[in-house]
Amino acid sequence: MTAPSAFLGLLIASAFGFLFHLVRGGRLVRLGLYLGTAWIGFFAGHFMGEWWDWRMLRLGSINLFASLLGAALGLVAASILAGPERGRAAPGARRGEEDEDS
């Protein structure tokens, strides 16, 4: 992988992480988590795709299909493992009211 391809991969992975954060929401810490996960997943997917000799959806020297698949799997896993954000109210609950069951 050349330096321009690596830079393009970082841009694509960053856009993917930003888009995931836009859909999922969250604070700035979650944005950092999603960006880091998208970068790692993107390049891990690329190298795994090269290792397995996948040739789908190439963009120059980037194996885009495997890269996006790796980033998507990483982002979903990070979102599940991170759990819900602290300080966010449950859906339908009003501010200041506590759960009556507890």
Chain segment 33-43, per-residue pLDDT in tens: 999 999 999 99
CB of 34 closer than 8 Å to CB of 20: yes
Give the pLDDT confidence of 50-65 residue by residue, as tens digits. 899 888 888 888 899 9
Domain borders along the chain are 3-82
Q: How far is CA 93 from CA 26, 83, 90, 97, in A?
A: 18, 19, 6, 7
Write down the pLDDT at residue 73.
96
pLDDT mean values, one per 10 residues, the chain (102 residues):
89 95 90 94 94 87 93 94 74 57 53
Q: How far is CA 19 from CA 12, 92, 95, in A?
A: 11, 26, 29
Q: Which residues contact 43 (CB under 8 A, 6 or more apart)?
A: 9, 13, 67, 70
pTM (2 d.p.): 0.77
Gap between the Cα atoms of 53 and 51, Å rounded: 5
